[in-house]
Structure 1
């Protein structure tokens, strides 16, 4: 089986929605990365997502909706959560919320937790598909588990083309790193994963600092495993001078094989991150050195992904 490549038009959207209703898997672009979509209420479809990605079943999934109003039937949205939703949805933010009784989501989506991770993406094509599908769509990043996320349809087809049914080709993603994951609670809002929405913007909205994630051996949010987003080559971070045999992934005005942003622009670096890691894989690089990245704004998300890429692998 080879996945269909669907055009980003009314016919392609209708075909993608038809496949989702039939319990099949469709990759589609958001503003962050490509997601691997399946009907979140269909247990077989959700199980197929885990199988296609070879993803651990204890790692929950993000459920996508076309607008804020559609969320209320599945999760409790109030207080800080409602304030954040009104400020940043649609956009690169995921909220971990209490799930409503009788929501009808597959237990595989939440990994058996009482909470559900929800996002309203900003990409017009994604929201058009979600509106046409008229069902909650579970969609982790469209890549094998633990590997580099996909930011183009070609990335999806290269790694998952024989495991899924279709990819809706909307071109390259604008943001290039996954969503920021937040969990509002009675004690404040926790930053579970840095991402495309800078933490500083969230703190400005709430008027107080974010809380650090609680230590747990079991992930409470998607993308929280220690080793994740990994290229084939070993990764060493904060490198000013690469060792013999290392290929430098640069940032700023440095001599290197590939540069995330020669101008030192964090937005450009985030957009290029996964694409450059894919290119290093294609080049057969076995040892990657990465220039220091400023740890503020989108730099926090970039450094989070690079730290997971460099983590020891099982």
Structure 2
């Protein structure tokens, strides 16, 4: 399959009238899949009402079919066609954070969306992205779009069109290049079907921000207990993994360097994922700084690009620093733990 690339300046006016957007929208109407930027990561969009389109998403990504997809919309009125009701807490969260990096789990109407998009569940995950290119494409297509991250399943999520092209060229109809994304981590997923909203996946909106709007917010036990099955789209399987074994280390930089030295003495090529504050400290084969420890939002923004950068290196093992699990740090550690898939080394 030939993959077409459309380059769009996200800062121009009336994007939905641009020929590149309309060409991409036409592909979506033809039940093809198209990658596009959001404020979090690039998404791989397909008509959420079409089994054929949704199957193409799963096939392109190599994603298991029991992993539901998030439905993207251009305006709040769209959800009335496929959602039974919107609870008061959900309305308040929409008012506060839409458009933005927040996905809400709501009870769905039957017979509207593809059952494959929702994995046969009685609920649907829905969000309104805060990106002019995404909103223009949604408006031009006149469709709700099922859109997981536009990467091969298990690989780091894409924050540039080049990342998408690396993974999916020849597997999808097209890529809308709207430049680098902003937040860098996927949306926060909140279940609004119970009285107390529950975070199923931490992301661009923090627990503290949610609680300022709706009061008490709980967290899915599966975020801490790996023996429990996660309920959120995109959380059931290992994700974001670099090619080399990746170990997180709960220790100071001297203790991490000791691990590096031990492995290098064994003849292994070693990488370290750190932050700008410590980038000059480590004596390893490859050291990559991922943002600033004093500004965790910069770590979130650079995280997937950093994980992909390690794949350009010939390494035997990678060690990574950990971060405090407050604010966006909770989402960062969630993604790093998924990327590692290995026990944290305690020092």
TM-score, normalization by structure 2: 0.86
Which of 68-77 and 161-170 deviates more?
A: 68-77
Report if aligned partners of 1:203, 1:210 keep a CA contact under 8 Å in 2. no
Q: 2:233 aligns with which of 202, 207, 222?
A: 222
Q: Deviations over 1:55-83 (max 9, x none)?
A: 11100000100121212221121221111
Q: 1:273 aligns with which of 299, 303, 306?
A: 303
2:271 aligned with 1:247:
yes
Give the Cα–Cα distance (whole angstroms) in 1 for the partners of residues 67 and 221 of structure 2: 16
Q: 2:53 aligns with which of 42, 45, 48?
A: 45
Report if aligned partners of 1:191, 1:213 keep a CA contact under 8 Å in 2. no
Match of 1:79 in 2: 88
Give the Cα–Cα distance (whole angstroms) in 2 for the partners of residues 24 and 226 of structure 1: 25
Q: 2:107 aligns with which of 87, 94, 98?
A: 98
Match of 1:5 in 2: 5
Report if aligned partners of 1:58, 1:218 keep a CA contact under 8 Å in 2. no
Q: 2:211 aligns with which of 195, 200, 203?
A: 203
Report if aligned partners of 2:271, 2:317 keep a CA contact under 8 Å in 1. yes
2:291 aligned with 1:261:
yes
Report if aligned partners of 1:94, 1:117 keep a CA contact under 8 Å in 2. yes
Give the Cα–Cα distance (whole angstroms) in 2 for the partners of residues 182 and 213 of structure 1: 13
Which consecutive unaligned segments of at least 5 residues does structure 2 have? 9-14, 264-268
Match of 2:336 in 1: 306
Match of 1:186 in 2: 194
Q: Deviations over 1:261-302 (max 9, x none)?
A: 245311111110001111110123331111121211111111
Residue pairs, 1:63-142, within 5 angstroms: 63-75=71-83, 76-102=85-111, 104-142=112-150
Match of 1:286 in 2: 316
Report if aligned partners of 1:59, 1:219 keep a CA contact under 8 Å in 2. no
Report if aligned partners of 2:154, 2:241 keep a CA contact under 8 Å in 1. yes
Which of 15-24 and 264-273 deviates more?
A: 264-273
The number of equivalent residue pairs is 312
TM-score, normalization by structure 1: 0.94
Report if aligned partners of 1:232, 1:286 keep a CA contact under 8 Å in 2. no
